[in-house]
Amino acid sequence: MVEIDGFNIAYEKIGHGMDIVLIIPEALGTVRSQFRQQFDPDHDGCLDFDCFTFVSVDLPGWGQSRQQHKQQQQQQERPYGPKILDDDAVRCDKLMNKLGYNEYSIYGFGIGGQIAILMSQKFGPRIKSMILHGTATYSNEKFLQNYRKLRDTECWNDSVMLSQYKLVYNDDIDLIAYLWNKYIDLAVNKFGEYYPDGLLMTNAIASNNDRHSKIYHCPSLILYGDQDDFIDMEQITYLANNLPNNRLIIFKKCGHHLHQEDPIKFKNIVEKFLLENFWNDKNCLY
């Protein structure tokens, strides 16, 4: 746990390799809840701890980052507002700075992918590569409908998602519903208001939220399950067409949690991409 900009930020380091990878989980989640297979040494889909050092972060207000500050009487709430994703990006980079990492790759799942994109804009020279998993970059009616229909946690049919959150929040269904509803109401529903041009802004002039409009230079890998209930193919097509230097991999018959549905394929693709860009020689693995 480290303090960054007044927030207690929980993180975990896994592995001891030279290739440093920051993992930013999906909303409400943690790496241990959302990537259990990838960090279970007894599972065939476990990532290589000799090649990589993974730094996972719990975003403010979620996971272990809800723990109250010594001088506060309440648990930390997520600081929703127009610049929350930009602030998350800054805090994540400050975390990596504190840990002594000047260059690193990013794996962003869902909202984590949105933060990764902003980090690549703000801290481009420091980002070696990024992986965007099930990530939306703009708001439209279909995007809002997909999330709104899943707002009521009592109607969830996704036992994988619910079981993940139970693990993080000690089976407290009321707390899970509270955090999820706030996320939908104060982040998803306002995404279009906060980022009216989307995240892949190419205008020469930064918008009012003071983001920098920059060309993306780092190699990017886009992962998508063709049965994703949250993110539709239109979002992914737009991302692939507008994010330079990217590679799109579609997991057939997989949903939002494609890494749990096909962990072996996931491991092979992710490790190969990261190592290619770590050595900066795309022929070294063939």
Please list the pLDDT of the chain residue by residue as tens digits (286 residues): 999 999 999 999 999 999 999 999 999 999 888 999 999 999 999 999 999 999 999 999 999 998 755 555 567 899 999 999 999 999 999 999 999 999 999 999 999 999 999 999 999 999 999 999 999 999 999 999 988 888 888 877 656 788 889 989 999 999 999 999 999 998 899 999 999 999 997 432 344 445 444 556 799 999 999 999 899 999 999 999 999 999 999 999 999 999 999 999 999 999 999 999 876 644 333 2
Q: Is 0.85 surpassed by the pTM of this model?
A: yes
SS3 content of the chain, % helix, strand, coil (to 5): 40, 15, 45
Chain centroid offset of residue 132 CA: 7
Radius of gyration of the chain (CA): 18
Q: Are 243 and 229 in contact (CB under 8 A)?
A: no
pLDDT of residue 69: 56
Classify 175 as helix, strand or coil: helix
- Map out the domains of the chain as residue ranges: 2-279
Distance from C-alpha of 57 to C-alpha of 93, rounded to nearest angstrom: 11
Q: Which residues are bridge partners to 172 per DSSP?
A: none
Q: Determine the pLDDT at residue 150.
A: 83
Q: Token pair of 53, please?
A: 């050092």
* CA 238 vs CA 153, 187, 199, 220: distances in Å: 29, 21, 11, 14
Q: Which fold is adopted by the domain 2-279?
A: Rossmann fold (3.40.50)
Question: CB neighbours of 90 closer than 8 A, spacing ≥ 6?
Answer: 5, 122
